[in-house]
Chain A
Amino acid sequence: MTRFRDGLVLIAGALAAYALLMIAQSRFAIKTDELAFGTETANVLGTVDGLIAHCIGAKDSPDCENAYSESGKPPSILWVGNSQLPAINRFEIGQENAPQILFRQLQGRNRYLITYSQPNANLSEHAVVINSVMPIYQPDLVILPVVFDDIREQGVREIVQDFTKRADLLSHVKASKSWPFIKNNLSGQTGAPGGGTAILGLEKDTLQKKTERAFTGFLGMHWSLWAARPKLRGTLSSAKHILRNKILGIHSYTKRRVNPQIYKERMALLEQIIMDIQVSGAQILLYIPPYRDDIDGPYVATEYDRFKSDFRALAAKTDSEFLDMERIVPGVQWATVTDTIFGFKEPDFMHFTEQGHIAMAQALDAKLKDMGY
């Protein structure tokens, strides 16, 4: 009797799971962009006149590299940053973000703007991106914002770390002054003996890998529920994050202190990044990105003031150009984040409307003109 019951319970559980998954697939699975930005903000990684000049990381970088080569490799400017660069709040078809607007401005002066941005990009990731792509584009100028909120993060995500899979780029990253600061942030570089991701010869394209790729590819093509799994994973992860914040009373405006030791180490890394850029012969423009000031935000005022002052001092010390854009985007142009799972609303301190992008592009353009670009 027990074995009969156990079997039935298992079958009923499997059927209930199937029903649950079907409901989740049709009602709750949401797009990755929506998870990151909320429903009001769109991630616009558009092209300018058919040219792909804004990439995220290693995976799509060849598109940017090819577009640059096809354009005849004109004198270039490299802009790295976080999701503030591509995301447009209250987006409407035809609107453009700051990199697109600035691309056109510079194109008129025979300059080619290439942009790389990742959501929540931190300085370690900037160091990898800059040292990886500098030899490819050999830019005359690098535009580098430092977002105070991203200074607490140190890890290098796969989208960026994959640059180091290209042997030529890895050697350049390893030769950089930033390397001692970032090597521990790259997984597989620390040699942890008990590390969960250490693989014994599985880096090779084994039969296991090939079969799994082919089989899961086949499942994805012929079974919509299987294909929906990444979205469902994203939805679950986002739901977990939102619920955690609700339970703990964490909001987008909750004050987040920066660990003094991390801050010190990050500022030292920033100096090394600047030196890497200068050693390669490029000029550098550092800027403080726009920050919402109509409501009280997550930065601790004393820490943020100190950061701005240190940042400015570092620019002076390293002979870098500096631009403060903190207050160029008025409060009404900033976003609200509404998550697509529970519908909770939070003020956004990172993304703004097209008007904000225009303001940012104009401020940068004016500065670049002053610098002779």
Chain B
Amino acid sequence: MLFNSATYLFLFLPVVFILYHVSRLRARQWIILAASLTFYGFWRIEFIPLMLLSAVVDYGLALKLDQTRDQKTRKRLLYVSLIVNLGILGFFKYLVFFRDSLWSIAEMAGYTPSYVDLNIILPLGISFYIFQTMSYTIDVYRREKKAESDLLVYMCFVTFFPQLVAGPILRASEIIPQLKTKLLLRSENVVSGIQRILGGLFMKVVLADSIAGLVDKGFERPVNMLSAFDSWTLAFLFGFQIYFDFAGYSAIAIGSALLFGFKIRENFNYPYAATSPRDFWRRWHISLSSWIQEYIYLPMIGAYRSKNENTPNRPLGDEQKAVIGRRRTWGLFLTWAIMGLWHGANWTFVLWGLYLAAIVYGYRLLSPRISLPKGPFGWCLSVGLTLPLMMASWIAFRAPSVGDTLIMWGHMINPMRFTGFGLSPNTYISAMVLTIAFFLRYFWVHSQASVWTKTNIAGVPLQVGYHAIVISFVFIFLQVKSQFIYFQF
């Protein structure tokens, strides 16, 4: 089911909300499971068994892991879990990609392999729920979490509808305790939940969907015809589209969960106001960055096994200084390549990951040698350097091919390409207005005036006006015009 559909907002959510809050704890868990399966089944009912299979396998293996003391057996059980989960992911998401890549190499070597058309549909949210169940088994293996014996609670954790198809990626320790508690119906949660949903819808249906047409048109143009201005504009505009789209989705997910009393971690924190590439990954898709950090990057560079386990969630590349250089560097690049592939089975995503690894690596090398001034000027300088670097990465995310990406990047840094404007005027205006509006909003949220508006009686008309505008725009623009971009991943 789509968050931006009338069906979800006016039928599904109110019905589940009422049923949930009038029920006892056990009944609530059944309601959440039934609602979650209905939510998923609205896309395709035939893929529900696959999700349940992945969940049940991990449920059983985790119980066994908990009971087993022999380390070798435990390791084998963990491998079974990884093989099943990665096998499902590999088949549905990567089989065609790897087959085509291998075939291309074979063709270059002079062989002509025969093609069989494979029409594999990527199940919605597969990358998210697989990561969630995998992290659960790994946590149990590491003895950081006790296996959950209640199958119903465990199934609710895996399928919890607000975060099922596009995150935030939850850890069992965050959600299972909440599932086992009879959460009270609190007015502040309901009000706050509705506000988050409205904010998320505004980002998706008013902003992201409006930009989408301009972005699509821009990227449809022959890449050789794009000037440096055009390429930069498209990078910024797609950067805002994907931000509004995904942050909007996350806000709706967090708001929906809050209506039921569940607290889900934030997934975004004004990422384009980041002062460094590392800072960016503390602010963008936070649940994925911390997942990758904890379950791929740190083990890969040996930091986890070095027993420095009391590490808080930190962005990729921000590990202990003690880890030796070369392994750190390889780990960084390999992890980012995996991060790229997680997003999609296409070499453009690998390129995106490697670009980001290079940025983080460059920052790692340069930051100890260069000291930027402190204060507002230093902040502006840091943001001014980071923002274009991060925006440029979106070219790889959106361009149709690696070749097109490289050409566009080439144009962006070629002084001879700063020649003309080939896109529609609205494209440049939108990119400029959104950049300014983003920072105005950022300053407002972090200003004393914002606090004053929320606490002073004189701020009430402003708040009412703000809500009136948001609600009106969401009402007018609410329609299932396009998917959430992250549904593909």
Whether A232 contacts B212 in the complex (CB less than 8 A), given A194-B344, A201-B44, A219-B6, comes out as no
CB-contact partner of B220 in A190, A229, A261, under 8 A: A190
* Closest Cβ–Cβ distance, residue B448 to chain A (whole Å): 17
* Interface pair B220/A154, CB less than 8 Å apart: yes
Instruction: Confirm or deny: A224 has a beta carbon within 8 angstroms of a beta carbon on chain B.
Output: no
* Closest Cβ–Cβ distance, residue A284 to chain B (whole Å): 26
B124 partner residues in chain A, CB cutoff 8 A: 200-201
* Interface pair B400/A201, CB less than 8 Å apart: no
* Closest Cβ–Cβ distance, residue B133 to chain A (whole Å): 20
* Interface pair B215/A196, CB less than 8 Å apart: yes
CB-contact partner of B41 in A9, A207, A219, under 8 A: A207
A366 partner residues in chain B, CB cutoff 8 A: none
* Closest Cβ–Cβ distance, residue A7 to chain B (whole Å): 5
B44 partner residues in chain A, CB cutoff 8 A: 201, 204, 206
Residue of B nearest to A219 (CB): B6
Q: Measured between alpha carbons, how far is A194 from B467 in the docked complex, in Å?
A: 32
A192 partner residues in chain B, CB cutoff 8 A: 219, 398-400
Q: Which of A12-20, A79-87, A301-309 contacts B (4 or more CB under 8 A)?
A: A12-20
Whether A197 contacts B220 in the complex (CB less than 8 A), given A192-B399, A208-B42, comes out as no
A16 partner residues in chain B, CB cutoff 8 A: 464-465, 467-468
A262 partner residues in chain B, CB cutoff 8 A: 225, 422
Q: Measured between alpha carbons, how far is A7 from B238 in the docked complex, in Å?
A: 35
Q: Which of B101-109, B357-365, B470-478 contacts A (4 or more CB under 8 A)?
A: B470-478
Instruction: Confirm or deny: B45 has a beta carbon within 8 angstroms of a beta carbon on chain A.
Output: yes
* Interface pair B472/A197, CB less than 8 Å apart: no
* Interface pair A6/B192, CB less than 8 Å apart: yes
Instruction: Confirm or deny: B324 has a beta carbon within 8 angstroms of a beta carbon on chain A.
Output: no
Q: Measured between alpha carbons, how far is A13 from B479 in the docked complex, in Å?
A: 21
Whether A215 contacts B7 in the complex (CB less than 8 A), given A3-B187, A10-B194, A208-B1, comes out as yes
Instruction: Confirm or deny: A221 has a beta carbon within 8 angstroms of a beta carbon on chain B.
Output: no
Instruction: Confirm or deny: A187 has a beta carbon within 8 angstroms of a beta carbon on chain B.
Output: yes
Instruction: Confirm or deny: B243 has a beta carbon within 8 angstroms of a beta carbon on chain A.
Output: no
* Interface pair A12/B464, CB less than 8 Å apart: yes
* Interface pair A194/B220, CB less than 8 Å apart: no
* Interface pair B349/A193, CB less than 8 Å apart: yes
* Closest Cβ–Cβ distance, residue B129 to chain A (whole Å): 14
B270 partner residues in chain A, CB cutoff 8 A: none
* Closest Cβ–Cβ distance, residue B169 to chain A (whole Å): 19
Whether A6 contacts B468 in the complex (CB less than 8 A), given A208-B43, A233-B477, comes out as no
Q: Measured between alpha carbons, how far is A293 from B472 in the docked complex, in Å?
A: 44
* Interface pair A17/B468, CB less than 8 Å apart: yes
Instruction: Confirm or deny: B22 has a beta carbon within 8 angstroms of a beta carbon on chain A.
Output: no
CB-contact partner of A13 in B219, B349, B400, B466, under 8 A: B466
Q: Measured between alpha carbons, how far is A303 from B346 in the docked complex, in Å?
A: 42
* Interface pair B348/A206, CB less than 8 Å apart: no
* Closest Cβ–Cβ distance, residue B374 to chain A (whole Å): 35
A211 partner residues in chain B, CB cutoff 8 A: 7, 11, 42
Q: Mark B26-47, 1 if CB is under 8 A from A, else 0.
A: 0000000000000001111100
Residue of A nearest to B480 (CB): A212
* Interface pair B485/A194, CB less than 8 Å apart: yes
Q: Measured between alpha carbons, how far is A229 from B422 in the docked complex, in Å?
A: 33
Q: Is the interface of A mostly helix, strand, loop or mixed?
A: helix
Number of interface residues of B (CB under 8 A): 73
Residue of A nearest to B126 (CB): A200
* Interface pair A17/B475, CB less than 8 Å apart: yes
B11 partner residues in chain A, CB cutoff 8 A: 211, 215
A191 partner residues in chain B, CB cutoff 8 A: 400
Which chain A residues numbered 175 to 206 have a C-beta less than 8 Å away from chain B?
A: 184-185, 187, 190-202, 204, 206
Whether A10 contacts B6 in the complex (CB less than 8 A), given A17-B471, A195-B216, A244-B429, comes out as no
CB-contact partner of B488 in A9, A17, A200, under 8 A: A200
* Interface pair A193/B400, CB less than 8 Å apart: yes
Instruction: Confirm or deny: B483 has a beta carbon within 8 angstroms of a beta carbon on chain A.
Output: yes
* Closest Cβ–Cβ distance, residue B116 to chain A (whole Å): 20
Instruction: Confirm or deny: A227 has a beta carbon within 8 angstroms of a beta carbon on chain B.
Output: no
Which chain A residues numbered 93 to 120 have a C-beta less than 8 Å away from chain B?
A: none
Q: Measured between alpha carbons, how far is A16 from B468 in the docked complex, in Å?
A: 5
* Closest Cβ–Cβ distance, residue A44 to chain B (whole Å): 28
* Interface pair B476/A197, CB less than 8 Å apart: no
* Interface pair A13/B471, CB less than 8 Å apart: yes
B397 partner residues in chain A, CB cutoff 8 A: 193-194
CB-contact partner of A202 in B468, B479, B483, under 8 A: B483
B348 partner residues in chain A, CB cutoff 8 A: 193-194
Instruction: Confirm or deny: A150 has a beta carbon within 8 angstroms of a beta carbon on chain B.
Output: no
Residue of A nearest to B459 (CB): A9
Q: Mark B216-250, 1 if CB is under 8 A from A, else 0.
A: 11011110010000000000001001100100000
* Closest Cβ–Cβ distance, residue B221 to chain A (whole Å): 7
* Interface pair A17/B472, CB less than 8 Å apart: yes
Residue of B nearest to A4 (CB): B187
* Interface pair A6/B191, CB less than 8 Å apart: yes
Residue of B nearest to A216 (CB): B6
Instruction: Confirm or deny: A239 has a beta carbon within 8 angstroms of a beta carbon on chain B.
Output: no
* Closest Cβ–Cβ distance, residue A140 to chain B (whole Å): 34
* Closest Cβ–Cβ distance, residue A149 to chain B (whole Å): 14
A212 partner residues in chain B, CB cutoff 8 A: 2, 5-7, 480
* Interface pair A261/B467, CB less than 8 Å apart: no
Instruction: Confirm or deny: A26 has a beta carbon within 8 angstroms of a beta carbon on chain B.
Output: no
B426 partner residues in chain A, CB cutoff 8 A: 244
A194 partner residues in chain B, CB cutoff 8 A: 238, 242, 344, 348, 394, 397-398, 485, 488
Q: Measured between alpha carbons, how far is A208 from B40 in the docked complex, in Å?
A: 10
Residue of A nearest to B125 (CB): A200
Which chain A residues numbered 243 to 270 have a C-beta less than 8 Å away from chain B?
A: 244, 248, 250, 259, 261-262, 265
* Interface pair B476/A236, CB less than 8 Å apart: yes
Instruction: Confirm or deny: B83 has a beta carbon within 8 angstroms of a beta carbon on chain A.
Output: no
Q: Measured between alpha carbons, how far is A65 from B308 in the docked complex, in Å?
A: 74
B475 partner residues in chain A, CB cutoff 8 A: 17, 21, 229
B467 partner residues in chain A, CB cutoff 8 A: 9-10, 12-14, 16-17
Q: Measured between alpha carbons, how far is A21 from B471 in the docked complex, in Å?
A: 10
Which chain B residues numbered 392 to 433 have a C-beta less than 8 Å away from chain A?
A: 394, 397-400, 420, 422, 425-426, 429
* Interface pair B487/A200, CB less than 8 Å apart: yes
Instruction: Confirm or deny: A155 has a beta carbon within 8 angstroms of a beta carbon on chain B.
Output: yes
Instruction: Confirm or deny: B122 has a beta carbon within 8 angstroms of a beta carbon on chain A.
Output: yes
Whether A207 contacts B460 in the complex (CB less than 8 A), given A192-B400, A215-B7, comes out as no
* Interface pair A196/B241, CB less than 8 Å apart: yes
A154 partner residues in chain B, CB cutoff 8 A: 217, 220-221
Which chain A residues numbered 1 to 44 have a C-beta less than 8 Å away from chain B?
A: 2-7, 9-10, 12-14, 16-17, 20-21, 24
A216 partner residues in chain B, CB cutoff 8 A: 6
B220 partner residues in chain A, CB cutoff 8 A: 154-155, 184-185, 187, 190
* Closest Cβ–Cβ distance, residue B278 to chain A (whole Å): 23
Residues of A near any B CB (own CB < 8 A) = 2-7, 9-10, 12-14, 16-17, 20-21, 24, 154-155, 184-185, 187, 190-202, 204, 206-208, 211-212, 215-216, 219, 229, 232-233, 236, 244, 248, 250, 259, 261-262, 265
Closest 3 CB pairs of A and B: A13-B467, A16-B468, A17-B471
6 contacts between A and B (CB under 8 A): A9-B460, A10-B467, A20-B472, A196-B216, A196-B485, A236-B476
Known: A6-B192, A16-B468, A233-B476. 19 other contacts (CB 8 A): A6-B191, A10-B191, A13-B465, A14-B468, A16-B465, A17-B475, A184-B220, A190-B400, A191-B400, A193-B344, A194-B348, A194-B398, A196-B241, A201-B122, A202-B43, A229-B476, A248-B425, A262-B422, A265-B222
